[in-house]
Amino acid sequence: MSASTQTDVQVRDARDADEEPEEEEAKDPEALIRTNLRPTLQLDYDIVLSQTYQVPVLYFTLRWHNYSGPVGLDTVYQHVVPQQYRQQLQSVGVMGGISLGYHPESGAPAFFVHPCNTADAMTHVTDERLITGETYLLVWLGLVGQSVNLHVPREIALGNGASPS
């Protein structure tokens, strides 16, 4: 299962801090005039069943468009993790709740949300009731996805793709 989303972020290169590009371009009649190309951060999400923990794991990759800055863990916490989840995620275990590793299917570097507490959290949330696989994934995605800005569309959460009344 894969999903992709793009997030607009404003990033200003430190090299531009001392000069005003609009003034420089106004002085040079041969300068190329650029439209305001705001950097865009593209997120690609992927869900893979962990063979070790026997629970789904949310993997995600990030790519900048119109900006050549690095994409590291700091970028994830600054632009992907909502403010209300940052401290909680950063304090999980020794290294936090998000790490960089290799995607188990593609082998490409990818960030992932640690699965070690997933089974206990799901048991607590579902109150130990037996639920369908589809319901499990929706509940799990609601818990894990929101911490990295991946939300279940309302139509799906309500079931059968029906629109809310």
CB 60 within 8 A of CB 19: no
Q: Which of 26, 31, 116, 157 is catalytic?
A: 116
CB 147 within 8 A of CB 113: yes
Distance CA 150, CA 147 (A): 7
Q: Of 93, 74, 79, nearest to 149 (Cα)?
A: 79
Q: Of 95, 86, 105, 87, nearest to 44 (Cα)?
A: 105
* Residue 46 annotated among the catalytic residues of the structure: no
Name the residues annotated as catalytic. 116
